Amino acid sequence: MLRDITIGQHFPGDSALHNMDPRAKLVLTLVYIIMLFVASNPIGLGISIVLVFGLYLLAKIPLRLIGKSLKPIIPIILFTAVLNVFFVTGESEPLVSLGFLHIYREGIDYAVLIVVRIICIIAGTSLLTYTTSPIVLTAAIEQLLRPLSKLKFPVHELAMMMTIALRFIPLLIEETDKIMNAQKARGAQLDSGTLMQRVKALIPVLIPLFISAFRRADELAMAMECRCYHGGEGRTRLKELRMSGKDVWLTVAAVVVFVAMGMSNFLWK
Amino acid sequence: MSEFVRVEHLSYIYGQGMPDETIALDDVSFSIEEGQFVGIMGATGCGKSTLITHFNGLNRPTKGHIYIGGEDLWADPGDIRRFRFLVGLVFQYPEYQLFEETVYKDIAYGPRNMGLSEAEIDQRVRRAAEFCGLSDASLQKSPFELSGGQKRRVAIAGVLAMEPKLLVLDEPAAGLDPEGRDTILGQIKAWHKETGSTTILVSHSMEDIAKYADRVLVLNSGKVAMYDETAKVFARAPELLELGLSVPEVTKVFLQLRQWGLDIPVDVYTVPYAVKTILAAKEGM
């Protein structure tokens, strides 16, 4: 069950998307999210759906994974959709009236709009992590934020913290899985009972997990000191990030699609 | 003797349908008689640990069946907890699962989950603690004050206290010094003898397997490579070496002696047996 979590997971590959400059990928993903909110019409959203699906195909990532990454937030999606259907009021006559509840055309429009937006945001950002290894991603963030170091902002330290945090996610998931298995083997009931019982049943998992997290943090700090880590000053990279010709073309193509998404507002009345 | 564990065409695939799907177990079949001591060995990543988590239903087979005491483990998935008490599983580095305030409470965690009476729990905790060489005084200590080796014993005692019919241990002696290693494995063997529980020992150490196991199961990339009596498995030394495994040092010596033309058996895998063989050979000269 825990290993089904796909957030932040990376699937190595050799597609144009995998090899693209992570800085470009990161910035384009951010712009994509902004454009999802700019384009509030069926054409724009249509384009954004086609774009994200097309990119999954390009990256050779199975489309099933979109479903998998959406699974945990289905309740949120349903909740916002229902909220929109019932509480957005329009100027025209309501389509359906159930006592004090009125459903307007606008409500349904908004509901569809918000559902598509959420799905596209999740699918798009997941694609970024699926195709980019955490180490490369943090390197990109560090480079993009470098101008801030002029203002004495600890860019390198922040990037290092993010790298370590990302590195620890799978580790801790694995560790949790192991400890849960061990306690289940001793008869722990983790997935049944009342809320109070469940919280209590988690203690045998949480205590060893915390202890092991601190132990690992300690060991990592020691290992870093042994290799004379002293922060970002004067530190060089093994792999410098460089935009290739292919990356430029992909970026230009993405920008064109984004412009189309924005322009669609003028086309749709 | 009757059959106690039966594994039929067991396959297990990690992350099925994902880009990183891996076949951990591939059509594994074997059975274990009641009261036997079986060693499982294989190179790292051959599926040993995946296999043992199937015995008490922590992993559900992708394909195939497992029978414990004649009952299909997954006949009723809602009833799987029953098998957790029938099959005791000691994981690798079990000392990292300790969580209670005192050693006593930690050992009592399993029996308490079984819903036993306080008197029964107390009796079981003390018995398991004694078997694992834990003194009465240490029972009231916090498990986090203990040394690594002692923590390991507490964790093993926690599983023994459940008095499982099938005891499965994954590298119980990993990372211990030679003395600690012999003590822990000796205690497990003693437990096996006294309670007659069927025992499975996963180990990388050929010496340990040779010393304690009646039968040996060799896994290689998710498949059963060999499953036979200990002597017969170690007699196939060249094949074992090819699988990235080894044979006990004493077996290596005997293989070399045979190559030099001495007429001695190939299935020598423990030191006492080796001594006997050498003496017999000397008399024959």
Residues A218-242 have pLDDT tens digits of 999 999 999 988 877 777 777 778 8
* CB contacts < 8 A (A, B): 61
Rounded CA-CA distance B154/B43 in Å is: 28
Measured between CB atoms, does A212 come within 8 Å of chain B?
yes
Structure tokens of B201? Answer: 């020992």
User: Is 80 exceeded by the pLDDT of residue A191?
Assistant: no
Counted residue by residue, chain A has a size of: 269
Q: How close does chain A come to B275, measured CA to CA in Å?
A: 41
B4 neighbors B166 (Cβ within 8 angstroms): yes
CB contact under 8 A, B113 and A211: no
Asked if the C-beta of B114 comes within 8 angstroms of chain A's C-beta atoms, the answer is yes
Please check whether residue B52 lies inside any domain of the structure: yes
Q: How far is CA B12 from the centre of its chain?
A: 20
Structure tokens at B274: 């080796």
Residue of B20, B114, B144 with shortest CB distance to A187: B114
Q: Which of residues 220-279 of B touch A (CB under 8 A)?
A: none
Asked if the Cβ–Cβ distance from B109 to A203 is below 8 Å, we say: no
Write the single-letter amino acid at B188: I
- Find residues 127-186 of chain B whose CB sits inside 8 Å of chain A: 144, 158-159, 162
Contact B84 A185 (CB under 8 A): yes
CA B125/CA B110 separation, integer angstroms: 10
Q: How far is A150 from chain B (nearest CA, A)?
A: 42
- pLDDT in 10s for each residue of chain B, 285 residues: 688 999 999 999 987 777 678 889 999 999 999 999 999 998 888 888 899 999 988 888 999 999 998 888 888 888 888 889 999 999 999 998 899 999 999 999 999 999 999 999 999 999 999 989 898 889 999 998 898 889 999 999 999 999 999 999 999 988 888 888 889 999 999 999 999 999 999 998 888 898 899 999 999 988 999 999 988 888 888 888 888 888 888 888 888 888 888 777 777 788 888 888 888 877 876
B169 three-state secondary structure: strand
* B280 within domain boundaries: yes
At A4-37, the pLDDT tens digits run 555 667 888 888 889 899 999 999 999 999 999 8
In the prediction, which pLDDT does B192 show? 93
Q: Which residues contact B99 (CB under 8 A, 6 or more apart)?
A: A203, A204, A207, A208, B106
Which candidate from B53, B96, B110 shows the least CB-CB separation from A187? B110
Contact of B201 with B42, CB cutoff 8 Å: no
Q: CB-based contacts of A214: which residues, under 8 Å, 6+ apart?
A: none
Q: B2 with B57, same domain?
A: yes
Residues B202 and B268 in one domain: no
Q: Provide the domain limits for residue B226.
A: 1-79+166-176+198-235
Task: Give the model's pLDDT for residue A240.
Answer: 79
How many domains would you assign to chain B? 2
Inter-CA distances, A40 with A74, A105, A200, A266, B17, Å: 22, 15, 47, 11, 35
B49 CB within 8 Å of a chain A CB:
no
**Whether the model pTM is above 0.80:** no
pLDDT in tens, A150-185: 888 888 888 888 888 877 887 888 899 899 999 999
**Chain A residues within 8 A of B110 when measuring between CB atoms:** 186-187
CA distance A183 to A197: 15
- Residue whose C-alpha is closest to residue B49's, from B219, B242, B245: B219
Residue B43's region, left for phi above 0, alpha for psi from -120 to 50, else beta, is: beta
CATH of the domain at B207: 3.40.50.300
This complex has an ipTM of 0.86
A8: left (phi over 0), alpha (psi -120 to 50) or beta: left
Please tell me whether residues B1 and B41 are part of one structural domain.
yes
> Residue A93: which of A102, A83, A84 has the closest Cα?
A102
Which helix H or strand E contains B166, and what residues bound it?
strand B166-170
CA distance B211 to B231: 11
pLDDT score recorded for residue A8: 64
- The pLDDT assigned to B15 comes to 77
Kindly give the interhelix angle for A105-131 and A134-145, rounded to the nearest 10 degrees: 100
Residues 70-129 of chain A whose Cβ lies under 8 A from any Cβ of chain B: none
Return the domain boundaries, chain A.
Answer: 1-132+240-269, 155-235
Main-chain phi, psi angles of A229, to 5 degrees: -70, 130
Q: A38 pLDDT exceeds 60?
A: yes
Chain A residues inside the 8 Å CB shell of B97: 179, 182-183, 204, 208
Instruction: Check: CB of residue B39 under 8 Å from CB of residue B94.
Output: no
Residue B12, strand partner residues? B25
- B285 in the same domain as B220: no
**How far is it, in rounded angstroms, from Cα B121 to Cα B136?**
15
Contact B109 A204 (CB under 8 A): yes
Q: Nearest by CB to B84, which of A61, A178, A187?
A: A187
Verify that B171 and B75 share a domain, yes or no: yes
Task: Write out the H or E segment, with its range, that includes residue B153.
Answer: helix B148-160
Quick check: A1 pLDDT over 50? no
At A149, the pLDDT band (50, 70, 90 cuts) reads: confident
